[in-house]
Structure 1
Amino acid sequence: MRITRLSVARSCAVCERTLLMGERSTRFTPDGENFVDVCPLCQDIALEYGWLKEGSPTTPTVSTDRPRRRLSLSSLFEARKAAVAEAPVADEPFLRRLSEPEREVVEAADLFNQTDFRRTVSGIAKSLGEPRASIRSLSGVSAEVVITVAWDISWYQYRVTPELAQPVRLEERGHELAELDPLYKDWNAHLDEHGRVVPNIARI
């Protein structure tokens, strides 16, 4: 008789993201009894809320000069939103199927989405509506990428240089779309519901 192993979908207890096949997670206990899975992006958040990592002493050491933050539903919800917003826009199996230029675009988007610049454009979008967005790779050995986010009355342009310690910086900003070079007006990306810049590549 042939036995088929069934895979059980696991999700992060903080951001509720479904963990990818083979993705490493760490088990924490929020109450000292039941253990849950936490993805790598959310481990610091779990520790901040006082959750115990599996294998840690049962009595945590609490600093006397800084009170521990209490876990509330609102703060947990905000933490989940932040973790989801900074999660990769594509999983590793999909990345392996992309061409090198497409992979550079996706990786640049991931770097951008992990910065405060993502929060900036997401906040502006709440006032001005959904923007246009483009991600353009530049020729050269440094593999730099330019991300442009634009509305009718405002635009922001960011340069992504992956090998730098701070890989994303604000390059330029302006008020008129006519100021932009046509090279950067090939709107090949968008902002998703989490405020992330996401390339318009099939199946992302």
Structure 2
Amino acid sequence: MKKELRPFHDHVSCAVCGRTILKGERTEAFLAPGGDRHGVCELCFVRADHAGWIRESAHGDTPTRGPLPQERRPLFGRLRRRGAQEATPEPSEGDLASADDGVGPGVDGGAGNGDAPAPRPRRQPYVPPPDPRHVRAVPTTAEVKIERALDLFNASEHQRTVAGLSRSLGLPWATALPDPDAPSTVTLVVAWELSWYRYRVDLGDAVEPVALQAKGDELTDIDQSLHDWNAGLDDEGRLVIGTAE
């Protein structure tokens, strides 16, 4: 009978890399954290140590379970703590010198003698200057006041209104008299038989010197003192000194 030859070497593989152990290759038994025994090749000793496995030969001197991982803080807490550490400024040389002298940073050395620091002067709130009013020089004589008032009236939009009415109602009567109660004011009245307008001209106002004060339909509504009719319209529809025909 023919004998069958079989190798006495059993096929053993590394528990870490899975490679078949060669004949004569050195292996070592490791104990996993659960207590299971595994064979590890020489090339995987370091990987087994990192995995928390313990050499069976050192099992009596080393605990079977590896060290517990350190509890990690939540991500938000770690970021907040890191930001607080970065925001804390390091003391400067001047601060350290002040600390050696017993004086806090930024405080005068005299405060260490018991004297309270002088209070800072309170800043007064800024008050803008008043807006200057646009004023003009006011004439002193009545004649010059009337001439100035007529010039201002003819330069305003009210002159165009009067000129337009005169095309349909004819030439008006007009009065220009200084106001005795207001030295810078001249009163103008433009009247027709069917309507009238009274204006106030402020010779000292450079923004809106001419303003319509009143208007009506009856000439009897006009104060009798304003019936002098010392002005009228010229050919260009401007109000001038003179009596209307």
TM-score, scaled to structure 2: 0.41
**Larger Rg: 1 or 2?**
2
Of the two structures, which has the highest relative contact order with CA contacts closer than 8 Å and spacing of 6 or more? 1
